[in-house]
């Protein structure tokens, strides 16, 4: 072993320098862009070790190649590895997550995402590629010496690969000591990357992708019956607190998906000005759910649509709209069609974005109004497309031509990252912090609020208001944890993991003309919108293998499950493997042997996420009614 190591060091010093620089860069990125926090010396050791087996493996493979090609292969390896780091860092800045194979299936979205991606890039990102420039220069300088080196044989490198295996076993062993059953927590990518490293995570992701693709082949009716029996068993009878069953029977249904609006802006101000004056006023005459959470994952807006229409959880990796658009679903549009409703989605974007044109047909929508159905000009569009006020105005014209009753989903655009808005459209000034994203967020939220006011005024003018029930909900967060420093300045408090979960709250408002307003403090989430709406419409359905519950039900358990395994109840918040007391915002101080108040929920949370995933991966709803 000593002889081969000395031989490599003597003949390939540039190789060792290049891989050492990549190792160091990987560690720095972990702290700098991935915000990895170490809690003990073992976690530091794991962080230092986990890139080594990966680097040793590829060094060994490169050494097996012809000497004339080794330098090229190493440069390609360094470029690809650096790009993997860079791409994950840029993605992490906005979504606090890592890229997965299913996410790459949405590559057709990249043209629309370009403005957001470029905004996330920073001048210091050049450091991701400086080492490659240095190594390439050294190769040019030492080219003749490299050409003279002999080729390595596999038998020579057996000791080298043996050491690599030892490092692999140590890394996995230490990781499992730190977090037992680590690889069974595929939903928790933060934890996996922290313990096995970003490169090994992508290999693990390939395994997960292959495994999930096989689930449909081996799925059977017995698996569906097991899950269906569970959902029927836990379903609570919808005995309402208020006499609301059927209160909106026969009315038009209008769902407004308010892009990226979080709940912290409701009733709040910036620079002394209300951020959402119209929504604040509307809440007084509406049912307002004051602790309502988005439950989306990598699919973002499309995940929120999936949650609302199916009352199933989105997938932990990728977007269901791309990965499983041909599954059998019994979605909300199909239910509404069965009850005489015309169903449509209106969104002034191209129909292929998030694969909507395919998925909407599968969900049962009668019509999809895309950018081709709107008059979009340079004056009435910005950023992602048609401005929200113009979108609402033109959508009213489409609604006047629709048969009634109708069930519609309107998806806004203006309040989308990077939150671009011309000064002529800004009703309030930008905030002043170190985050351009947060500064620009408030004016675009205010603009969307104004667009919703315009929409309500037009509904009244056109005689559509009295015969409609309007639901407004935020689809996902707008400000990621990458901007915690600026958020801490605005909220005037530290952003702890507890506060980060609180910031996943989005507004949910149900407005029924003529009904008095009421604040509903119950813990609820997007998965509960479908059963709650059906209750108000007086619609009962027999087959319902879902996980959402009518929020107005007396017997409904207050439990909201987030896609990463965190959860919220009336009394606790569980996140980052820590149980927090909601009354104090601090972790519970437990005595030795005392059970955490979160413990009784952990198994139930994992069961529901697992069952929902099996329904999607196995396309189990095709067995319903068989």
Residues annotated as part of the active site: 301
Q: Kindly tell me the sign of the dihedral angle through the C-alpha atoms of 60, 64, 67, 69.
A: negative
Q: Kindly tell me the sign of the dihedral angle through the C-alpha atoms of 189, 192, 193, 197.
A: negative
Residues sharing a CB contact under 8 Å with residue 408, sequence separation 6 or more, in sequence order: 252, 253, 254, 255, 343, 344, 345, 346, 399, 402
Residue 248 in contact with residue 511, Cβ under 8 Å?
no
**Structure tokens belonging to residue 609:** 């996420």
Residues sharing a CB contact under 8 Å with residue 580, sequence separation 6 or more, in sequence order: 497, 498, 572, 573, 574, 586, 587, 588
Question: ω before 321 within 30° of 0 (cis)?
Answer: no
- The three-point CA angle 400-405-411 to 5° equals 65
**Structure tokens belonging to residue 13:** 């010093």
**How many Å apart are CA 359 and CA 325, to the nearest integer?**
5
**How many Å apart are CA 321 and CA 359, to the nearest integer?**
6
With CA atoms as reference, report the closest residue to 254 among 361, 399, 138, 368.
399
Residues sharing a CB contact under 8 Å with residue 127, sequence separation 6 or more, in sequence order: 25
Residue with tokens 């050049």: 126
**How many Å apart are CA 373 and CA 234, to the nearest integer?**
44
CA distances from 568 to 238, 295, 559, 561 (A): 21, 11, 6, 7
Strands, DSSP E only, in 284-327?
287-293
Dihedral pair phi/psi, residue 586, rounded to 5°? -115, 155
CB neighbours of residue 168 within 10 Å: 19
Residue with tokens 């860079």: 86
CB neighbour burial string for 573-594, b if at least 16 within 10 angstroms, e if fewer? bbbbebbbebeeeebeeeeeee
Residue 522 in contact with residue 551, Cβ under 8 Å?
yes
Q: How far apart are the first and last CA of the chain?
A: 63
Look at residue 592 and give its three-state secondary structure.
Answer: coil
Residues sharing a CB contact under 8 Å with residue 411, sequence separation 6 or more, in sequence order: 257, 259, 301, 345, 346, 347, 349, 475
């Amino acid at each position: 072993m000593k002889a081969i190591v000395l031989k490599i060091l003597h003949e390939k010093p540039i190789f060792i320098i290049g891989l050492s620089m990549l190792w160091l860069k990987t560690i720095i990125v972990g702290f700098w862009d991935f915000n990895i926090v170490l809690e003990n010396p073992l976690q530091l050791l794991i962080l230092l070790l986990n890139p080594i087996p990966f680097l040793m493996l590829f060094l060994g493979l490169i050494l097996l190649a012809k000497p004339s090609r080794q330098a090229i292969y190493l440069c390609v390896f360094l470029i690809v590895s650096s790009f993997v780091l860079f791409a994950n860092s840029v993605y992490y800045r906005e979504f606090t997550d890592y890229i997965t194979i299913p996410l790459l299936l949405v590559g057709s979205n990249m043209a629309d995402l370009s403005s957001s991606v470029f905004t996330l890039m920073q001048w210091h990102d050049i450091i991701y590629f400086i080492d490659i420039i240095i190594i390439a220069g050294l190769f040019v300088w030492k080219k003749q010496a490299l050409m003279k080196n002999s080729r390595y044989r596999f038998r020579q490198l057996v000791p080298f690969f043996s050491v690599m295996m030892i490092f692999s076993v140590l890394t996995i062993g230490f990781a499992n000591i730190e977090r037992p059953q680590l690889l069974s927590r595929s939903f928790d990518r933060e934890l996996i990357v922290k313990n096995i490293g970003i490169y090994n995570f992508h290999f693990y992701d390939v395994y997960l992708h292959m495994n999930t693709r096989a689930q449909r082949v081996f799925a059977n009716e017995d698996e569906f019956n097991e899950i269906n029996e569970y959902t029927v068993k836990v379903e609570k009878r919808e005995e309402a607190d208020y006499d609301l069953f059927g209160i909106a029977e026969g009315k038009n249904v209008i769902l407004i998906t308010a892009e990226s609006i979080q709940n912290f802006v409701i009733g709040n101000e910036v620079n002394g000005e209300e951020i959402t004056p119209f929504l604040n006023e509307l809440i007084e005459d509406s049912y307002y759910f004051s602790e309502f959470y988005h439950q989306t994952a990598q699919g973002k807006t499309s995940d929120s649509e999936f949650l609302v229409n199916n009352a199933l959880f989105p997938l932990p990796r990728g977007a269901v709209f791309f990965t499983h658009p041909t599954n059998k679903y019994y979605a909300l549009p199909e239910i509404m069609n069965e009850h005489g409703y015309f169903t449509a989605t209106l969104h002034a974007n191209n129909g292929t974005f998030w694969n909507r044109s395919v998925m909407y047909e599968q969900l049962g929508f009668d019509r999809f109004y895309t950018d081709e159905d709107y008059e979009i000009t340079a004056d009435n569009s910005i950023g992602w497309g048609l401005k929200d006020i113009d979108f609402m105005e033109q959508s009213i014209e489409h609604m006047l031509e629709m048969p009634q009753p109708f069930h519609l989903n309107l998806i806004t655009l203006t309040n989308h990252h990077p939150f671009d808005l011309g000064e002529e459209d800004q009703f309030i000034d930008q905030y002043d912090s170190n985050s351009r994203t947060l500064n620009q967020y408030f004016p675009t939220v205010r603009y969307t609020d104004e667009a919703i006011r315009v929409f309500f005024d037009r509904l009244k003018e056109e005689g559509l208001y009295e015969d409609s029930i309007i639901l407004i909900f935020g689809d996902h967060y707008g400000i990621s944890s990458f901007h915690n420093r600026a958020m801490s300045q605005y909220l005037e408090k530290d952003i702890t993991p507890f506060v980060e979960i609180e910031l996943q709250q989005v507004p949910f408002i149900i407005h029924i003309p003529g009904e008095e307003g009421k604040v509903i403090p119950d813990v609820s989430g997007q998965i509960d919108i479908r059963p709650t709406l059906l209750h108000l419409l007086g619609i009962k359905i027999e087959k319902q293998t879902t996980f959402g519950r009518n929020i107005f039900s007396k017997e409904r358990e207050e439990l909201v499950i987030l896609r990463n395994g965190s959860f919220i109840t009336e009394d606790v918040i569980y996140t980052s493997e820590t149980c927090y007391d909601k009354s104090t915002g601090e972790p519970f101080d437990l005595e030795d042997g005392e059970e955490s108040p979160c413990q009784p929920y952990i198994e139930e949370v994992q069961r529901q996420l697992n069952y929902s995933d099996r329904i999607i991966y196995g396309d189990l709803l095709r067995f319903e009614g068989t």
